[in-house]
Structure 1
Amino acid sequence: MTQVDRTFLVKVRQAGLWEIPAGRLAQTHASSDAVRRAGLHLIDGHSKLDQLVREDAQILGVELPNEATPEQQGWVKQLDEAQGDEFDRLFANLLRASHGKIFATIGEVRAATQNDLIRRHARQANQTVLDHMEVLEDTGLVDPKTFQEVEAAVAPK
């Protein structure tokens, strides 16, 4: 098990710790059925990933955090303070940017890991993140700048 494998498990756990609350906020703050549907996908997908990551971490002896990063907590606060159309746009773009960035990381982890549990987890995370990106894009609210931001973040340095 490598440091990249450990970091991957931590990042998956932290993603769920902010995206599940974000998905719940979509149920009460969104004005669009498409955004509420995206929120349900986040709740469902990250609940399953969270259970898997906690099981894998226990087997592999990896300590996981119990709260999102300060930046992620800030995103949840921003979402909580928004309503209606403003919430919908913020939700779609924050979450699409986040998923776009981690999508590239998952591919790198999957390609490089020699650990069967990490490989399985990366496969499941890849499927979940792809589903979330598609449902967020289906809202019709993702700004082209979001795609440019992700491209800049994942471009080779």
Structure 2
Amino acid sequence: MVMVSDMTANTKTLLIVAHAPSPNTKKLAEAAYKGADHPDLEVKVILKSPQDTQPEDVLAADALLLGTTENLAYMAGLTKDFFDRCYYPVLEKKQGLPFAVYIRAGHDGTGTKLALKTITTGLRWEWIQEALILRGDWQEAFTTQVEELAMTMAAGVEAGIY
């Protein structure tokens, strides 16, 4: 899964890294892309799966929105793999990167949130808001919440707030 919006060379970039192993989590990834790629915003939006995301993608981004599932009270293995591959190549170069996350959690999402806080604290990334945790049984409202998060993040990137 790779989606890229068209923008000029000077346009800021929002990278969305979304683990989407199910139809519902795919809806969340698509909602994130839709929100960030709003026609009134001048932001280049790139949507990639964790396994397709390379350190170069993070280095080229002005902000990062991460979507992951909660698996066994932890982030998805492919999300962890993304961090394993990208951590050291971006560590010194992307300090202060604006960051947000949505977690699709069957339980409470706190283990995933804690793990992500630990990793991103080490990277010195800046959380723009608390984790959006989508708890319990699937609700269509989850897509609206993710779309709004992505749109807010893209607007902040465009305005230079983040």
TM-score range, shorter-chain basis? Answer: 0.3 to 0.5
Tell me which structure has the larger Cα radius of gyration. 1
Q: TM-score, normalised by structure 1?
A: 0.33
More helix by share: 1
Higher strand share: 2
